[in-house]
C-alpha cells in the first residue's frame, strides 16, 4: 500500500470542497484519428470546461498523485493525477481508492457474490482479498496526465 498522509491526516477525513481549482475552458477544434491516418477535420466546436468535463461532483471530489506501477495496464502511470469521487458506490470493474487491512491502494474493484477482490492492472501484483478491513474511500472517475512538465 502507499502512504496518503498528504491527503488523509491521521484519524481525519480529507477536505473535499476546494480540492480542485477552476480551469479556463478550451475550444475544441475538431477530431483526430488515433488509428489509421484520415483527412484532418477542422470544424470549430464548443468550448469545453475541464472542470465540467472531468468533475461531475466537485464537492465530493479530490486529486491524488499516482505512485507505483500496479495500474499501468489500465493506462495509469506514475506521476499521473487521478480524480477520486468520495461516496460513489463502486461497481464491478471500477477503479477504486481503498484502505485494505491498514494499507492504502488503488485497484480494480471485483465483486462475485459476497466476495470482494481488488485487482491490479499489472500481472506482477497478485489480487488482494481483504482479510479484516476494507474501507472504500472513493471511485476513480478521471485521469490527468501532462506530457511536458
Task: Tell me which residues are annotated as active site.
Answer: 70, 107
C-alpha cell at 63: 486529486
How far apart are the C-alpha atoms of 147 and 149, rounded to whole Å? 6
Nearest to 27 by CA among 5, 51, 8, 49: 49
How far apart are the C-alpha atoms of 69 and 125, rounded to whole Å? 9
CB-based burial of residue 106 (10 Å sphere; 0-12 exposed, 13-18 middle, 19+ buried)?
buried
Amino acid at each position: 500500500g502507499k502512504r496518503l498522509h498528504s491527503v488523509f491526516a491521521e484519524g481525519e477525513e480529507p477536505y473535499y470542497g476546494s480540492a480542485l481549482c477552476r480551469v479556463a475552458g478550451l475550444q475544441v477544434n475538431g477530431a483526430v484519428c488515433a488509428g489509421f491516418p484520415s483527412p484532418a477535420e477542422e470544424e470549430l466546436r464548443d468550448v469545453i470546461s475541464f472542470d465540467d468535463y472531468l468533475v461531475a461532483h466537485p464537492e465530493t471530489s479530490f486529486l491524488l498523485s499516482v505512485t507505483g506501477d500496479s495500474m499501468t495496464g489500465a493506462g495509469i502511470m506514475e506521476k499521473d493525477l487521478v480524480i477520486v469521487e468520495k461516496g460513489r458506490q463502486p461497481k464491478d470493474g471500477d477503479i477504486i481508492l481503498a484502505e485494505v487491512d491498514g494499507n492504502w491502494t488503488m485497484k480494480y474493484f471485483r465483486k462475485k457474490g459476497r466476495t470482494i477482490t481488488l485487482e491490479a492492472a499489472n500481472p506482477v501484483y497478485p489480487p488482494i482479498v481483504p482479510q479484516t478491513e476494507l474501507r472504500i474511500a472513493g471511485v476513480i472517475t478521471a485521469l490527468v496526465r501532462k506530457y511536458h512538465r
